[in-house]
Amino acid sequence: MQRRTFLQFGLGTALATPLLAVVRGVVAKGLRQDKLDAAAAVLTKATDAGQVDAATLCVRQGQSEFVRAFGAAKSSDAMFLLGSISKTMSVAAVMTLLDQGKFRLDDPVKKFLPEFTGGGREKITIGQLLTHVSGLPDQLPENNVLRSGHASLAKFAAAAMSTPLLFEPGTRYNYSSMAIMLAAEVAQRISGTDFLKFIDSALFQPLGMKHSALGLGRFKLAELMQCQVKDAAPESGAGDPAAKDWAWNSPYWRKLGAPWGSVHASAPDVARFLAEFLDAAGKVVKPETARLMLRNHNPPELTPRGLGFAIGAGSGSPGCSEKTFGHSGSTGTLAWADPATDTICVVLTTLPGRAAKPHPTRLVSDFVAQAAT
């Protein structure tokens, strides 16, 4: 097994945080050291100024890896609430069942969820759930009521199965957390295993993601980075003190394990996940399935979408190729991989995505893309 090389870190303000790894080599061919220094300096400045409480950065190219922790994150293994990056991981776990022949993308959802009928629901396929063209809403109209009442995932699934569709399946694109909720419900019923345990055995364990869990898993709440809830996403209470017992930092939400937003993970673990698809390694899904997940499945007139992944240059930063795939999270996270440069970029912060424009994750991502070109 090749040993991963850690990249030398430059001088300047970025040295405010000690190196996380012994230098074992030089910068990978194609990565510009000055741009990596600039990327890390963004997070050093943001945490020193108090804009961001905690952050981690992981950049990989080939067998080289550059990892840093900032602010309250004392280690690169610090675990953050990923937000919607959770969707990509949940979908990857679901796709292991496709590899086993348990479902097809064109199977109607009602084949596995018999109660999912009426109002056009019987037309929805599993593939449409995974590409956000099902007609299901992003969040349920009763989202706040469910969360304030500490509803179970089963109650969320039941509500998602009965909520009115926004449009006829397949005719429009509408990003949908509830579609991923129902895809996870399908996987749970096929496998006969609670989805929180299923994703651990299907994804985290095979990839050696030792600092990852949907919900709390084996970890304690105190071990996880806390989100800065001011300016948080509307569905998480938007920083309202009255939402404290169901917002992002609440024990309820951290334990719930929502497939659409509640994975906790470290930056290197997210990089391991992306590498499974960048390399088509076959540790979790078959190589052909990995490639299937990274191509567009939507009609030309609709937003292009892979299975679980955003795809195209826009899923990364300027300079990334059209082969790029990844996702972001409203909790202040961003991750992408570009096959054209064999580069992976993961930026995790505690600052909500709505809290700053441009957000530090975006600035860091831009520098990493520049470093790789």
Q: Is the pLDDT of residue 7 over 80?
A: no
Cα 187 to Cα 100, 203, 258: the distances in Å are 12, 13, 14
With 60 as the cut, is the pLDDT of residue 21 above it? no
pLDDT of residue 28: 52
Question: Is 90 exceeded by the pLDDT of residue 96?
Answer: yes
Q: What percent of the chain has pLDDT above 70?
A: 92
Write the CB contacts of 351 (distance below 8 Å, at least 6 apart in sequence).
46, 51, 52, 53, 228, 332, 359, 360
For residue 30, is it within any domain? no
Q: Is residue 70 part of a domain?
A: no
Name the residue range of residue 90's domain.
Answer: 80-372
Sorting pLDDT into bands at 50, 70 and 90, what band is 347? very high
Q: Are 291 and 306 in contact (CB under 8 A)?
A: no
What are the tens digits of pLDDT across the range 266-297?
999 999 999 999 999 999 999 999 999 999 99
What is the structure's pLDDT at 76?
A: 95
Lowest mean pLDDT among 227-236, 259-268, 288-297: 227-236
115 in any annotated domain? yes
Helix runs in the chain, H state only: 33-48, 85-99, 126-130, 143-148, 153-162, 177-191, 195-199, 251-256, 267-278, 287-293, 360-372
- Residue at 215 is within a domain: yes
pLDDT of 364 > 50? The answer is: yes
Phi, psi of 64 (to 5 degrees): -110, 145
pLDDT band at 16 (very low <50, low <70, confident <90, very high): very low
CB atoms within 10 A of CB 236: 27
The CA–CA distances, whole Å, from 311 to 182, 246, 275, 308 equal 22, 32, 15, 9
In a domain, residue 7? The reply is no
What mean pLDDT comes out for the span 8-28? Answer: 37
- Cβ atoms of 79 and 212 closer than 8 Å: yes
Alpha-carbon torsion angle 320, 303, 332, 365, nearest 10: 10
Tell me if 225 is assigned to some domain: yes
User: Using 50, 70 and 90 to split pLDDT, how confident is the model at 31?
Assistant: confident
Among residues 297, 257, 261, which one has the least CA distance to residue 95? Answer: 297
47, burial (CB in 10 Å: exposed 0-12, middle 13-18, buried 19+):
buried
Domain count, the chain: 1
Q: Is the dihedral of CA 320, 321, 326, 327 positive or negative?
A: positive
Of the candidates 52, 55, 51, 44, the one whose C-alpha atom is nearest the C-alpha of residue 9 is 44
- How many CB atoms are closer than 10 A to CB 50? 8
> For residue 197, how many other CB atoms are within 10 A of its CB?
15
Amino acid, res. 189: R
Per-residue model confidence as pLDDT tens digits over 158-180 = 999 999 999 999 999 999 999 99
Q: Which residue has the higher pLDDT, 7 or 71?
A: 71
Angstrom distance (rounded) from CA 91 to CA 126: 11
Find residue 6's DSSP bridge partners: 65
**Would you say residue 335 lies in a domain?**
yes
| Rounded Cα gap, residues 52 and 86, in angstroms | 21
Residue 25 pLDDT > 90, yes or no? no
Q: In this predicted structure, what is the pLDDT of residue 3?
A: 39
**What is residue 14's predicted lDDT score, i.e. its pLDDT?**
39
Q: Residue 110: pLDDT above 80?
A: yes
Q: What is the pLDDT of residue 63?
A: 85
Query: Does 122 fall in a domain?
Result: yes
Sheet strand arrangement including 263-265 = 80-81, 263-265, 212-214
- More confident: 338 or 233: 338
CATH number at residue 274: 3.40.710.10
Give Rg (Cα) of the chain. 20
